[in-house]
Amino acid sequence: MAQARRIGEQGRYELIEEIESGGMGTVWRGYDAVLDREIAVKLIRPDVVATPAQAEEFARRFEREARVTARIGHHGVPQVFDAVLEEASFDRLYLVMEYVRGVSLRKVLTGAADGETTQLPVGWAASIAAQICTVLSYAHALPVVHRDLKPDNVLIAADGTVKVLDFGIAKLLGANVTPLTAVGERIGTSQYMAPEQFDNAQITPLSDLYALGCTLHELLAGEPVFSGDSDYQFLHQHMNVPPKPLRALRPDVPEDLEALTLDLLAKVPEQRPADAYAVYERLSPHLPQPGSAADPVVFTGGGSPSEVPDPTVIYRQPNAPLRQTKVPAPAPQPVAPVPVPARVDTALRDAIRDAYSRSADLAESGRYAQAADVLKAAITAAATALGAHNPRVLGLQRQRAAVLMAGEDFRRALPEFDALAAVYARTAGPSSNGALECRRHAAHCRANLGMATAALREFQDVLDVVSGTDGDASETALDLRRSIGVLLFSEGRRSEAEGVLDTLHEDMCVLLGEDHEETIEIADLLARLHRPEGSGPS
């Protein structure tokens, strides 16, 4: 495995994979080694710098992006965590930002199986546009104009929050601010540009509202306002051709939403709504009410709504707690067995060994999230080459689940252990070591997630199997009995806990000795149980 690139003081930021490359920079997914969290790192592309003047302009634009993004201060814009802006070296010019897991609005619109654009439900479209309005209102208050608002620069995060990306070409409107673009240079995307942008006229927050109108039209109609093969065609249409009313394309669109979209798409800026807040007010009647149920979602183009975060949830359940996800059922065993090569090639074997070694080093440093990510990449490669149920793949999956549990990420570790236990039960038998160990770890995860009843039941089921084969005094059985007794104690079930721990203590005295630290630990628990409830320590 190639050595990851590191930047920052003492190599704090590790670049894992390039996720985007634009005109002036590249964006990488990476890790902050100090805080053990995923980050996005935006770097200047040295290959696009041809002259000293261009270098200076890029450096200033990059610096402005850092400061503008940080100043907006709204959760609908990815946070800036760090910025290094030394103009002397482009290797030292970068932004460290929040890494947002979500789905691009462009992917939502074009995610249909046939490649055609999808019409979104009215509530979804209104919720997305309203969240964009909120971000724009914060930006315009600075005042900052985005200048390239489009579905490609909008992301729906996993919790339904809409994020507006790439303020890299944003323009500050203060009279004392030097413009960063040459006279006559257009910035933006022609399919979403306001007429005044084509005309090189004054750019104002109303220009962003025009782009929002283009986006809202596309969300509801399932097609762009205008289409063409050249910038000239778009220029002509945006400046001279009236947009087609939404209800002519989709009759179920409410009349007031059609009117709002047409107002946003007015050729003359002064004829558009006054500001982003005014647009939000007109969208409000179409936003779901708090406590309302989710509307059924059917994407007309054939896409799958299950893969798209619901942007209405922040209105239906504002500031809701994190939903406890249900443990997914393990994937059914394929009817035809996956062919497994007779041997593993050297490169794959080395990659697996490197993943174990690197993840162990990261976990030892307390960087559990990154350690799990390293193993996940190895699992994907190994499963492709060897088959999902190959022992090497299962071993990597067990190690990843163990790393997640060691990092106390029990919510993610639990479904991993459950799925592994099911695979081992099918392939090696319910009493196999793999199945029992994974069930035991799953029970620990449940106990730490507050699912005490289910955890106790699973601990006891595994203990019954272990006791039947190895007896009550085996190392595994002793550990299971201890887990059951401690969990009963923590749940306040004193008499049941005492019964389990008494017999466990007797066995441990014989097997380990009275002075063994584990025996002493159980003796201390029993002493606490034998004291009357409510009494303090002796």
Along the 538 residues of the chain, how does pLDDT read in single tens digits? 456 788 888 889 999 999 888 766 789 999 999 999 999 998 877 777 777 777 677 777 777 778 888 888 899 999 889 887 665 555 567 889 999 999 999 988 886 444 456 789 999 999 999 999 999 999 999 888 999 999 999 999 999 999 998 886 666 565 333 344 443 445 668 899 999 988 777 889 999 999 999 999 999 999 999 998 888 899 999 999 999 999 999 999 999 999 999 999 999 999 999 999 999 999 999 999 999 988 776 655 445 556 688 999 999 999 888 665 554 444 444 434 445 454 557 888 889 999 999 999 999 988 898 899 999 989 999 999 898 889 999 999 999 999 999 998 898 899 999 999 999 999 999 999 999 999 999 999 999 888 999 999 999 999 999 999 888 889 999 999 999 999 998 888 988 998 999 999 999 999 999 999 999 999 998 988 887 665 555 4
Half-sphere exposure of 453 (CA within 13 A, CB side): 0
Half-sphere exposure of 30 (CA within 13 A, CB side): 28
**Distance from C-alpha of 420 to C-alpha of 328, rounded to nearest angstrom:** 12
Evaluate the CA torsion angle 315, 321, 322, 323 in order and state its sign.
negative
Tell me the whole-structure pTM to 2 decimals. 0.72
Residue extent(s) of CATH 1.10.510.10 domains in the chain: 102-316
- Quote the pLDDT of residue 332: 42
Does 148 participate in catalysis according to the annotation? yes
Q: 344-449 sits in which CATH class?
A: mainly alpha
Separation of CA 246 from chain center: 33
- Out of 1.10.10.1800, 1.25.40.10, 1.10.1060.10, 1.10.490.10, the CATH code matching 455-538 is 1.25.40.10
CATH 1.10.510.10 holds for 102-316: yes
> Which residue type sits at 30?
G
Q: Active-site residue among 36, 47, 91, 148?
A: 148
- The architecture of the domain spanning 5-98 is 2-Layer Sandwich (3.30)
> Which residue type sits at 16?
I
Residue extent(s) of CATH 1.25.40.10 domains in the chain: 344-449, 455-538
Residue extent(s) of CATH 3.30.200.20 domains in the chain: 5-98
**Distance from C-alpha of 364 to C-alpha of 199, rounded to nearest angstrom:** 59
**Distance from C-alpha of 330 to C-alpha of 114, rounded to nearest angstrom:** 30
